[in-house]
Amino acid sequence: MKQQANLIRAGQVIEHDGRRWTVLKQQIITPGKGGAFIQVEMRDLKTGNKTNERWRTADSVERLMTEDKDYTYSYMDGDNVVLMDPETFEQLILAKDIFGDQFAFLQDNMPLNVKLVEGDPVGVELPPHVTLEVTEADPVVKGQTASSSYKPAMLSNGVKTLVPPFIEAGERIVVRTEDGSYVERAKD
């Protein structure tokens, strides 16, 4: 299905130069002189190579339709992630590279949404938030204003993030899987 280049969004799958690409990031740039264009960072689905491409906003690109299917994370098998279909109990084995930076947020029995193009997996969506424990947190620096000061902390999955000064090591917090940023204290 053809669509205008300015409608490209992260997570979409497009066909370009006879190959399939998944869109990682997009940015519309409006220079001071001339027409606007869209800068797209994308990954080749077969080789995993990344590239950047520019289109004028009026250009059209071929967008591939994806089918969403729910799976549950089971376990790791080397560099592969094994997922299970909750309805048929069939297993799906994916390379961990398809998860990108979100791989660190995988948890046992986590429900996942796998995007398929003609039966081939092209992307995975994790739930928007996960609850993790803070393993290390820097001490509070006296005199900092409480409203805008955040301090570095290490989470139980090895990801570093910034947390408010009142969060201590051992507390459980809710974190965005998209970028690892702090949302709130866990309510459990």
Mean of the per-residue pLDDT values of the chain = 86
What gap in Å lies between CA 14 and CA 45, rounded to an integer? 10
Range of the domain at 28: 2-63
pLDDT value for 147? 57
The reply to whether 102 and 115 lie within a common domain is yes
Count of Cβ atoms closer than 10 Å to residue 127 Cβ: 12
The reply to whether 93 and 118 lie within a common domain is yes
Among 17, 33, 63, the domain boundary falls at 63
What gap in Å lies between CA 151 and CA 69, rounded to an integer? 38
| Domain harbouring 21, CATH code | 2.30.30.30
The reply to whether 175 and 140 lie within a common domain is yes
Tokens 């519309």 -> residue: 28
Tokens 């990954």 -> residue: 43
The reply to whether 104 and 137 lie within a common domain is no
pLDDT value for 134? 92
**Residue 97 DSSP SS3:** helix
Residue 48: pLDDT band (50, 70, 90) is: confident
The reply to whether 41 and 77 lie within a common domain is no
The reply to whether 52 and 90 lie within a common domain is no
What gap in Å lies between CA 163 and CA 97, rounded to an integer? 28
| Domain harbouring 94, CATH code | 2.40.50.140
pTM above 0.85, yes or no: no
The reply to whether 44 and 91 lie within a common domain is no
Number of structural domains found in the chain: 3
pLDDT value for 144? 61
The reply to whether 93 and 52 lie within a common domain is no
pLDDT above 90: percentage of residues in the chain: 24
pLDDT value for 31? 87
Among 44, 63, 82, the domain boundary falls at 63
Q: What is the DSSP string of 106-152?
A: --TT-EEEEEEETTEEEEEE--SEEEEEEEEEPPPPTT--TTT--EE
pLDDT value for 148? 67
Q: Which residue has the higher pLDDT, 47 or 182?
A: 182
Residue 129: pLDDT band (50, 70, 90) is: very high
Count of Cβ atoms closer than 10 Å to residue 185 Cβ: 15
Q: Which residue has the higher pLDDT, 122 or 85?
A: 85
Among 46, 63, 80, the domain boundary falls at 63
The reply to whether 108 and 154 lie within a common domain is no
What gap in Å lies between CA 185 and CA 188, rounded to an integer? 9
